[in-house]
Structure 1
Amino acid sequence: MSLTAQTYWAEHAWLNGVVEPSVIIGTAADGRITAVRTGVPAPPPGSVALRGLTVPGLANVHSHAFHRALRGTVQVGSGTFWTWREIMYQFAAGLTPDSYFDLARAVYAEMALAGVTAVGEFHYVHHAPGGARYDDANAMGEALIRAAAEAGIRITLLDTCYLSSDIGKRGRGVAPNRHQLRFSDGSAESWAERVSALADADHGSHARIGAAIHSVRAVPAAELRTVAQWAQDRAAPLHVHLSEQTAENDSCRSVHGVTPTRLLADHGVLGPRTTAVHATHLSAEDIALLGGSSTGVCMCPTTERDLADGIGPAKRLQDAGSRLSLGSDSHAVIDLLEEARAMELDERLRTRARGHWTASQLLRAATEQGHASLGWTEAGRIEEGGLADLTTIALDSVRTAGPVPRLGAETAVFAATNADVRHTVVAGRHIVRDGTHQLVPDVPTALSDAVAALRT
């Protein structure tokens, strides 16, 4: 990215939980915030006006970019997570490094239009169909990193260990099925060797490399510690799908005699740099293990609703000590404001009570806490020295007009949608200006073309 210093004038800005009017945000050529000043009544000469409510850039903590191609297809008829998975495999089979770049570039541009400035890409489509390696063993991951750069957002590539199709009777894993062969490196040691080469390469300032364990179904217990140790040695984020389905819990108890959470704890996976994704079906002991180890939890409400997974115990997890973050996962929609709102509203449905989180707490999950989960601890706050990543939400649309500006946070969380994102700034660079992407000028066509290529 070619960056220059820039001064932004925010009509309203969310600063440490408080909406302030007329805020100057200075940025430097290194993409950091150099100044934050309140009470400046009009845009100074040479500044860029951000009309609406400016918040820190949104962090989409859990993404499978190619799932975007399923939108409008998997919503037809009935079924379960498992029938959805079969359709997902069909789309995964068609991916190449080139087609994945095209699709991911369009998907990440859609995210930028929705105010997302950083994505956690839970990446497991590593090899060619049948499991053969590309000449560059990390060609698929490199395609995702380049796609994020061209769409103008940051990425934490969570390179995922995926070795087996199920736990198996003795916990040693069942061989991958024909769809899953391209996901597998054969062993955790081979995974670590490949991902180390990826992590040691120079990808530019927009990208960082983390690790992921697909699930206790896909990584045998004996291999878990290898992945956890790799992440620990590199102080990298470590993510894992956890208890998304009751079938996963039943299999784990049947084979190992413990829940998936306990299995992960016993093999050194849990901890402050770890994020459990979904965490839907947990016991009281599971919640205590996650919270007590300061393991984060990423909730993906729109996907969890779309797949009929269930409502996870988000409030109990937070009360136990887990940091909450948000993701759009399968991209049934890409709207972090909806994810934030849904976490509160789903909890209201579950408990028949209101007010589990304030609007500011939900925004923190979508910004500061999300970035921390992805290893971008210097992002997610509008303050001097932080990364100059900003999202501006209109306060004058048909959804947001009416409330007084000081209630902008409440308006953003409980009324606004991705359509209300007016500006997106990444590293001080104006990526989305007045609702138009500056690097990918026709995002709908890019999406249509990339998805159509996978359907042929």
Structure 2
Amino acid sequence: MRYWCEHAWLDSSGVRSSVLVDVADGKITAVVPDSPCPPDAHRLPGLVLPGFANAHSHAFHRALRGRTHADGGTFWTWRTGMYALAGKLDPGSYRKLATAVYAEMALAGVTCVGEFHYVHHAPGGAPYADPNAMAEALRQAASDAGIRVTLLDTCYLAGGIDQPLAEEQLRFSDGSVDAWASRVSSLRSDSVLLAGAAIHSARAVPRAALPSLVSAWPSGPLHVHLSEQPAENEACLAAYGLTPTELLAEAGALSPRTTAVHATHLSTKDISLLGSSGTGACFCPTTEADLADGIGPARELVDAGSPLSLGSDQHAVIDPLLEARAVEHGERLRTGRRGRFTPEELYTAMTAHTSLGWPAGYADLVAISLDTPRTAGCLPSQAMLVATASDVHTVVAGGRVIVEDGRHRAGDVGQLLTEAIEELWR
């Protein structure tokens, strides 16, 4: 298959024109700028970018959109509604919902998602006949939507520091690191799903369990919620005399394969520990704004050595272009300076597939129209500073077209979402 791009962003030389991309077996075999369009090529007008990586997703949270935003409160009161929703899921309803959510991501240009997965068992904590039935539902959902998923299977052992699990949290837990590791070891990676791991947070995995968890998952992606809320830091300092970042460093959890999600409330030492270890930072700006989390030190983390990635987390918005722009806008709001991140840096954060463990080279392409009411007149190199997901017209994942003319191959994604969400809230 061959794709001809009117304009394309290339890592080595920025935006180039008339770029021919050759594809075989789902991988890119050649990229040639300044090429005439061959008659057998699929034309991609506008600006073509690599497929976007949504590095942090809780797919089931999408069913909360439009139901929690007007009630005031805090992250902790929002969590009550989230637990109530989690209690309604089973493998069948989760596959249906996640398929629609992943299709919505595809419409926005996402070709790979990191699913931070902790709804493992039936309500009350009893395992399903297949202990990974919920993970398999997510595998099938990604396959149905035409994207890849890194299943970040999450270890969740406590209801808080020195607190037992609440009733609604029992289905998240395997009871011990060994039981969690045994279940995760049976997950198989394939062309759709890559098995990864996650530490839910400093409050959900006790200090004594962290080193054995790291040892049980010695390679592959390892993600962790980190310092999303000041209360998390305060509890960790009170219990251990360490910040959550220092706690992870003590356990040997910081490394280039690790991604710290949110990384919002950090000390200067925390930033240094994350950067010097090459630990990545995944910002989810639209969620962090919706939940009143705060604005994290993105520029300082990148300058310290932490690669930046982006996620949509609770999916109040699914739009990687808006997430990237929100990182820059957050920097401007907290510093009073523009241009804290270059467009090239933001493009890199949007396409950080390596944070999810997938190798480079997949034929993942996102074509953005440059003649819409939002993008008309913009320079191709600055399109991501004005475009939204509504401007994505074609998406290629693994060499296959999954979105064309703004429509997903699965059909009406709005209807799919409506049916899946209404079924859960009946």
The verdict on a shared fold, with TM-score over 0.5 as the criterion, is yes
The Cα of 1:78 is off from its aligned counterpart by 0.7
User: What's 1:342 paired with?
Assistant: 326
Distance 1:377 1:197 in 2: 22
Q: 1:9: which partner in 2?
A: 4
Give the deviation of 1:223 after TM superposition: 1.1
For 1:210 and 1:333, the matched residues in 2 are separated by 25
Aligned length: 425
* 1:275 alignment counterpart: 259
Match of 1:409 among 381, 384, 392: 381
Secondary structure, counterpart of 1:12 in structure 2: strand
The runs of at least 4 aligned residues of structure 1 exceeding 2 Å deviation read: none
How far apart, CA to CA, are the structure 1 residues paired with 2:288 and 2:50? Answer: 26
Task: Give unpaired runs (5+ residues) of structure 1.
Answer: 1-5, 169-173, 379-385
In structure 2, the residue matched to 1:424 is: 395
Q: Select the residue among 105, 108, 130 that pairs with 2:99.
A: 105
Please give the TM-score of this superposition, normalised by the length of structure 2: 0.99
- Per the alignment, residue 341 of structure 2 pairs with 357
1:124 to 115, 118, 121: 118
Counterpart position of 2:211: 225
Q: Which residue of 2 aligns with 1:383?
A: none
For 1:430-445, what aligned pairs fall within 5 Å after superposition? 430-438=401-409, 440-445=410-415
Query: Is 1:391 equivalent to 2:366 in the alignment?
Result: yes
CA distance in 1, matches of 2:335, 2:38: 49
- 1:202-281, aligned counterparts within 5 Å? 203-232=189-218, 235-281=219-265
Structure 2: tracts of 5 or more residues without a match:
none
8 Å contact kept, 1:211–1:227: no
Aligned partner letter, 1:424: V
Pairwise CA distance, 1:420: 0.5
Partner Cα distance (1:398, 1:452) in 2:
33
In the alignment, which of 151, 175, 182 is matched to residue 193 of structure 1?
182
Shift of 1:58: 0.2
One-letter code aligned to 2:279: T
The secondary structure found in structure 1 opposite 2:309 is strand
Name the structure 2 match of 1:377.
359
- Picking from 267, 288, 298, the partner of 1:304 is 288
2:190 and 2:181 map into 1 onto residues whose CA distance is: 21
Match of 1:158 among 120, 134, 152: 152
In 2: Cα distance, 1:390 partner to 1:453 partner: 33
TM-score, normalised by the number of residues in structure 1: 0.92
Partner Cα distance (1:291, 1:40) in 2: 40
Contact kept, 8 Å, 1:241 with 1:276, in 2: the verdict is yes
Deviation sequence 1:290-324 (CA, Å, 0-9, x none):
00111000000000000000000111111111000
Amino acid in the other structure paired with 1:159: D
Aligned twin of 1:135: 129
Amino acid of the structure 1 residue aligned with 2:3: Y
1:226 Cα deviation after fit: 2.1
Inter-partner Cα distance in structure 2 for 1:376 and 1:110: 21
Mapped contact 1:57–1:424 kept (Cα < 8 A): yes
User: Cα distance, 1:231 vs. partner?
Assistant: 2.4
Letter in 2 for 1:300: C
User: Would the aligned equivalents of 1:107 and 1:447 in 2 still touch at CA under 8 Å?
Assistant: yes
Q: Residue 47 of structure 2 aligns with which residue?
A: 53
Root-mean-square deviation (CA, aligned residues, Å) is 0.9
Give, in angstroms, the shift of residue 245 of structure 1.
0.5
- Per-residue CA deviations over 1:206-234 (Å, capped at 9, x if unaligned) read 210000000010011111122212221xx
Cα deviation, residue 377, structure 1: 3.1
CA distance in 1, matches of 2:132, 2:381: 41
Distance 2:217 2:325 in 1: 32
Shift of 1:408: 1.3
Amino acid at match of 2:343: A
Shift of 1:372: 1.1
- For residue 64 of structure 1, report the CA deviation from its aligned partner: 0.1
